């Protein structure tokens, strides 16, 4: 699977495409960005088009809260599942991000 939209960050790793119920785009590309290998600054990016500003992102520590409270909560939950499946990060890495969000 290839990204649908242009994304100009060389540090980001493409995870896949998700369905978005809260965007006109209907589908979105999901990326994981962690250039310094730090669970406290690792970020998920959800891109809706090739337009530079047409995305939203969150570091993992905030993402665990947004999964339940954001208008984009479903997209965040699905994107996080893609991250788990990708094996780009270990369970210990994600656990550290989760513990710091509490």
Is residue 6 a part of any domain in this protein? no
Is residue 57 a part of any domain in this protein? yes
Q: Which of 73, 98, 88 has its CA nearest to residue 15?
A: 88
Write the CA distances from 72 to 2, 50, 75, 94, integer angstroms: 23, 19, 5, 20
Is residue 39 a part of any domain in this protein? yes
How far is the C-alpha of 68 from the C-alpha of 6, rounded, in Å?
29
- Domain of residue 57, residue span: 12-101
How far is the C-alpha of 31 from the C-alpha of 29, rounded, in Å?
7
* 25, pLDDT greater than 70: no
How far is the C-alpha of 49 from the C-alpha of 41, rounded, in Å?
24
Is residue 2 a part of any domain in this protein? no
pLDDT bracket for residue 82 (50, 70, 90): confident
Is residue 5 a part of any domain in this protein? no
Number of domains in the chain: 1
pLDDT bracket for residue 102 (50, 70, 90): low
């Amino acid at each position: 699977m290839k990204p649908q939209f242009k994304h100009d960050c060389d540090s980001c790793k493409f995870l896949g495409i998700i369905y978005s119920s809260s965007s006109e785009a209907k589908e979105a590309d999901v990326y994981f960005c962690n250039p310094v290998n730090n669970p406290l600054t690792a970020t998920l990016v959800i891109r809706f088009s090739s337009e530079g500003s047409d995305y939203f992102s969150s570091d993992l520590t905030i993402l665990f809260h947004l999964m339940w409270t954001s208008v984009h909560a479903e997209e965040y939950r699905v994107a996080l599942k893609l991250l788990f499946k990708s094996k780009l990060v270990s369970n210990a890495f994600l656990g550290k991000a989760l513990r710091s969000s509490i």
